[in-house]
Chains A and B, each alone.
Chain A
Amino acid sequence: MNLGSPSLLDWVEYYRQHSTSSKNERVSDFYRHGVINPATSIGQAPMVAMDFETTGLSSADSEIVSIGLVPFDLKRIYCGESRHWIVKPEQDMTEDSIVIHGITHSNVDAAPPLANILDQVLDAIEGKLVVVHYRYIEREFFNKAVLGLLQEPLLFPLIDTMEIESDILKGRQGFFDKILRKPLKPIRLDYCRRRYNLPHYDAHNALTDAIATAELLQAQIAHHLNPDMPVKDLWA
């Protein structure tokens, strides 16, 4: 498995630098809060699963319309502390995206812009290890949104259940697939979940998907990984 490979980033160092270099008070505050100790075992780590619904697939021309968060650890997922926001994008939504996430114009018209709730989102993830399914979406959309609002980039370590799943599948890949370095396609959340006897969810919103992601990580670790493994071997 590829999970042991060192991260490209040294997150402790990254946080340390940005806690002083960031010009925005809220962003530097976020970094000062610090990153979880990389040696902490995943079984001990406080985590929060996060999911976005966006108006499109590319952060270049799409925006966040909703955010779901649910805190959890390897024992329990705490729905009682979950959060869900619908936010008003700056540009109008296309009909296509409405079909996907079911959030309509009237929903977002009544919703606050991201600027109004960004503080709450940062409060909710501070000090916790963020878990997502397919990290490029959440990382890029969030970074871009914060950059737009606070004129500072905002990056933090992420555990990506899709990457974990793909590593697990790679471990089972045939010899020729490995030789040919055949790239794995993105693996949909629902498809990953089925492999662990996790239920199918009808409701598609950011909160349901965040919970679904948390459940998936619990299942992946229970089946394939050691709860004692340090978080630095899992995050990126």
Chain B
Amino acid sequence: MKDTGSGMRLLWSWMRLTWPRLAVAALLGTLTIASSVALTVVSAGLICHAALRVPLAELQLAIVGVRFFGLSRAGLRYLERLVSHSATFALLAKMRTACYRALEAMRPAQLRSLGRGDVLARVVSDVETLEHFYLRVVAPPLIALAITLLTSALLAGWSPALGLRALAVLGVGLVLAPLLTWRMSRGAGAAEVQARASLKAAWVDTLQGAGDLLMLGAQERMRARTGQELSRVQAAQSRIASAEGAGNAVGVLVGGLIPLVLLPCALDLVRGGDLGVADLAMMVLAPIAALEALAGLPLAVQALGHSLAAASRLQALGPGAGAGETEHTPARVESAPGPFAVEAYDLHYRYDADLPWVLEGTSLAVRTGTFAVLTGESGAGKSTLLHLLAEAQAGYGGELQLAGQEVRDLDEERRRRKVALVTQSTHLFNATLRDNLRLAQPGATDAELHRAAEGACLTEWIASLPDGLDSWMGEEGLRLSGGERQRVAIARALLQDTPLLLLDEPTAELDAVTEQHVLEHLKSLCPQRTVLMVTHRPAALACADVTFRLELGGGVHTPCPERTASLPDPETSSKTSRPDAWSATNA
């Protein structure tokens, strides 16, 4: 329930931003249906009066009215559609930027874990769900209420008794149809969303595990599982369809109830002389025409459920999902760069308070200008260390310094100029290769691009592309192999031209020749730049100036300290209390 409340608040905060247009759209929607009620009333009146053989001249007003309302209904509907769609687009733009801002404000570690769980993809589909929030959820009940009141008031103008009865019957439809739909489908919407997520997971497993499934002869087992998930989805959908059908059936019943309730009363009034006989048909037909406004209510209830669920998920993303603004990090005074590019002392880090420590008392120091390699068992925190450095994350214990500055104090701009990171999974955008590379350095010239490509051993590959640097990448463009993707990421990082270059298993999918070439280029960057690379590959280990071996539990070993002997000694600094950079330390 708390979730629903927060989703509601979020939707409300968005609606407020575009309310004038939404109000106009609702007004036009009401007028459209009011026109069709008026058309019914006036044409019924026309026929009834004509049947009394009144002179034709007396019918002129009615004839004009019939034509007018016939035209106005169509015209108003057209206007209403235009206004409501433009309001929808305005809302969509606001929602997209707001969601993006919320995500953008997140810690990168949080973002990566969201990306793995498909949460990011869900954010996008949630925004799409909310795209039609006004058209499908807000407008129908507003218009239904307005029409109910207007029609009842119209009837009350002839006779308060008729007005009250019309209000009662239409009110039943207004309340009962959505209520019944809501009661019958309660929980089904959430169940459907959940079942669809499991179904999707089953498909992911099927496609990504296809080879193993076939080899283990487990395809039938998998088919049974997806079939089962699909029937769970359909069970929920069946409840929803049934609820919607029941809501529509209530609408039909209300339509039948109108003559049954109003006709006896109207007849009594006619017989008592309180109502002209020519007006009798109008009194019954007006509320029936008004029912059109109630027809969308069962669907609106369903859409409301979906919208609230989507909105509360978006709300859960964080405060920025509302109309928040970006935070500012105060500029800091730059201190002189130390002899070490990277220093960690008694570093502790975990992804969440209830998860085990990933880094537990790790200490190491990478001298400026060296080619350093970080190795060790998977799970020892190698990638975590790189990400902490590259993303300037706070939330770690102990000390972690980048060129003498505490990482948690760096602002984004400064961090970006100091360090580039090649991750294990790089996203290639739906854009040209040039744009994908230039992301890191928007002003880079083609010559610079080619130089970076050369360093990542991409030159031949680019030459083989249909449009060279202008070839499209990403979902709608070229499909890159794992190795090509890695090399594009390396080129992008080279282009960023930072004093410290961090690489996470950059050559894992490269063959030996390419790997050697890339390694040599990286090595040639030193000592102007510092390279810190996570790898298991012997070729990389072989050309490192220094190797750190991270152990589970935080220990660091440097099995080959003698390699560093040829390096110039760092100037003695005030940091004498630090453990010796190259020796093994244990927390």
A, B in one complex:
no
Q: Which residues of A contact B (CB under 8 A)?
A: none
Q: Which residues of B contact A (CB under 8 A)?
A: none
